[in-house]
Amino acid sequence: MASYKLLLLPGDGIGPEVAAGMQVVLEALKETGLATFETETDLVGGCALDAHGSPLADATLQRAKDADAILLGAVGGPKWAGVAYENRPEAGLLRLRKELDLFANLRPAICYPALAEASALKRELVEGLDIMIVRELTGGVYFGEPKEITVLEDGSKRAVDTQVYTTAEIERIAHVAFDLAGKRSGRVASAEKHNVMKSGVLWKEVVTKVHAEHYADLQLEHILADNCAMQLVRRPKQFDVLVTDNLFGDVLSDIAAMLTGSLGMLPSASLGAVDAGGLRRALYEPVHGSAPDIAGQDKANPIAMIGSLAMCLRYSFGLGDAADALDGAITDALSGGARTADIAGEGTNPIGTRAMAAAVADALRARVG
């Protein structure tokens, strides 16, 4: 069996707790013969700032570049609230994404049957929900120049952010979305606002061209981003793969997140281009932050982190069977009644981070053994 090199960056707050939970599952993957990994652990975020004076040391960045994939917990917390902007813990994560050019953010929104009651929507609207949001992560209005606040002659101010996309940026994210759809139901919805934005006009044009030239056997639908937001809460199961830009993706993926019940359930992947060796640079991390309110109390839900490992198996290493087994083990553990506090609901006794990770690892062994 091939052994892959994983860099673990647990980070701050609940990061180390959920990362430890994931390592229990890594052991179970190894025991069951599904996958083996060489792991290295390093610092990122506030803990790196404390140790090295930088939220991402150059040596850590080099290790990240040398690894086959990176699994990150979370960064940040009140301890570092007063540090200089360029040294804040989140800057370490942003630098990592930028240096590795991780342009495609994949955020699945899956509603497990056992958790349908935890959603803000009615059970029948969300039960069986399985959407993949593909968000462009390194372009658009968060990075476009000019980006500034200027003072006008009358003393008032003027703020500018620039929404900018090139053909190449749209093409590469469209390829990611269509490739994913080809392995799922074959349906892609592309969200933009071509009715009022030039970047939306180009987005629609390029996605249409990529579809016609390379993926004509798949189904493509264009949807205005505002309508998309509405449809996500009206009839979310109509979507399979949803591709969109950085800004709309930020908002739409948070809406989709709420359909699934808890932040503690949501994994993500940030993917770069395929390198000369055929490997894609990739960072996998839970969507949630460092949750200082529950850090150090064995209360955090490790499923978002464990789900991120499942995405790593699938998207970095092509280990679809192992990823299916792990996703299935999460479903089994939940169906068996395992609940951390965030998903416990009334009348259920919650278990801790360690016990939840052990429940998933046991369910994995039971599936394979």
- Contacts with ligand NAD by CB under 6 A: the residue count is 22
Rounded to the nearest whole angstrom, what is the least distance from the CB of residue 118 to ligand NAD in the complex? 12
42 in a known ligand binding site:
no
Position 293 contacts ligand NAD (CB under 6 A): yes
Rounded to the nearest whole angstrom, what is the least distance from the CB of residue 251 to ligand NAD in the complex? 15
Position 288 contacts ligand NAD (CB under 6 A): yes
Binding window for ligand NAD (CB under 6 A); candidates: 153-161, 162-170, 296-304, 356-364:
296-304
Sequence-distant contacts of 207-215: CB under 8 A, at least 24 apart: 207/170, 207/174, 207/243, 210/170, 210/171, 210/174, 210/175, 210/178, 211/174, 211/178, 214/175, 214/178, 215/178, 215/181, 215/182
Question: What letter does residue 140 receive in the DSSP assignment?
Answer: G
Position 19 contacts ligand NAD (CB under 6 A): no
Of 134-173, binders to ligand NAD (CB under 6 A) are: none
Non-local (6+) Cβ contacts of 322 within 8 A are 29, 34, 35, 313
Position 21 contacts ligand NAD (CB under 6 A): no
Non-local (6+) Cβ contacts of 205 within 8 A are none
Residue 183: alpha-carbon gap to chain centroid = 19
Binding mask 337-356 for ligand NAD (x = CB under 6 A): -----x--------------
Choose which of 35, 104, 225, 291 interacts with ligand NAD (CB under 6 A).
291
φ, ψ dihedrals at 60, nearest 5°: -70, -40
When the beta carbons of 263 and 368 are compared against ligand NAD, the nearer one is 263
Choose which of 294, 306, 312, 363 interacts with ligand NAD (CB under 6 A).
294
Position 8 contacts ligand NAD (CB under 6 A): no
When the beta carbons of 46 and 140 are compared against ligand NAD, the nearer one is 46
Position 102 contacts ligand NAD (CB under 6 A): no
Taking Cα atoms as reference points, which of 42, 39, 14 lies closest to residue 29? 39
Position 90 contacts ligand NAD (CB under 6 A): yes
275 in a known ligand binding site:
no
Q: What is the biggest distance separating any 2 CA atoms in the chain, rounded to whole angstroms?
A: 74
Map tokens 């493509």 to a residue.
220
Binding window for ligand NAD (CB under 6 A); candidates: 71-79, 178-186, 193-201, 203-211:
71-79
Q: Coil, helix or strand for 225?
A: helix
Rounded to the nearest whole angstrom, what is the least distance from the CB of residue 53 to ligand NAD in the complex? 19
Binding window for ligand NAD (CB under 6 A); candidates: 32-40, 62-70, 281-289, 356-364:
281-289
Give the DSSP letter string of 280-348: EEEEEEESS---TTTTTTT-S--HHHHHHHHHHHHHTT--HHHHHHHHHHHHHHHHTT---HHHH-TT-
Rounded to the nearest whole angstrom, what is the least distance from the CB of residue 136 to ligand NAD in the complex? 17
Position 267 contacts ligand NAD (CB under 6 A): no
Taking Cα atoms as reference points, which of 307, 316, 323 lies closest to residue 67? 316
CA 12 – CA 15 distance, rounded (Å) = 5
Q: Looking at beta carbons, which residue is closest to ligand NAD?
A: 289
Annotated binding-site residues read: 77-90, 97, 107, 135, 226, 250, 254, 289-301
Interacting residue ranges for ligand NAD, rule: CB under 6 A: 14, 18, 74-77, 90, 93, 263-264, 285, 288-294, 300-301, 304, 342
Annotated binding-site residues for substrate read: 97, 107, 135, 226
